Amino acid sequence: MTPQPTGPRPDAAPREPEATSPGARTPFGTRLHAALAARGPLCAGIDPHAGLLHEWGLADDVAGLERFALTAVEALAPVVSVVKPQSAFYERFGSRGVAVLERVVAASRAAGALVLLDVKRGDIGSTSQAYADAYLDPASPLACDAITASPYLGFGSLDPMFDTARRHDAGVIVLALTSNKEGPEVQHARLEGGGTVAGRVLDHLRELNAGAEPLGSFGAVVGATIGETSERLDVNGPLLAPGYGAQGGTVEDLRRIFGVASGAVLASSSRGLLRAGPDPRALADAARRANDELAALRP
Q: Phi and psi of 42, rounded to 5°? A: -80, 130
- Closest by CA position to 30, among listed 205, 217, 201: 217
Amino acid (one-letter) located at 24: A
Whether 173 contacts 240, CB under 8 Å: yes
Strands 218-222 and 239-242: parallel
Q: How far apart (Å, rounded) are the C-alpha atoms in residues 83 and 273?
A: 12
CATH-assigned architecture of domain 28-297: Alpha-Beta Barrel (3.20)
Could you count the other beta carbons within 10 Å of the beta carbon of residue 128? Answer: 23
- Catalytic positions are 120
Q: 65 CB contacts (<8 Å, ≥6 apart)?
A: 48, 53, 89, 90, 93, 97, 100
Residue 133, pLDDT score: 98
Could you count the other beta carbons within 10 Å of the beta carbon of residue 263? Answer: 17
- From first to last of the 299 residues of the chain, give the pLDDT tens digit: 444 444 433 333 333 333 444 444 799 999 999 999 999 999 999 999 999 999 999 999 999 999 999 999 999 999 999 999 999 999 999 999 999 999 999 999 999 999 999 999 999 999 999 999 999 999 999 999 999 999 999 999 999 999 999 999 999 999 999 999 899 999 999 998 889 999 999 999 999 999 999 999 999 999 999 988 999 999 999 999 999 987 788 999 999 999 999 999 999 999 999 999 999 999 999 999 999 999 988 77
Q: Phi and psi of 153, rounded to 5°? A: -100, 15
Q: Is 2 exposed, middle or buried (0-12, 13-18, 19+ CB in 10 A)?
A: exposed
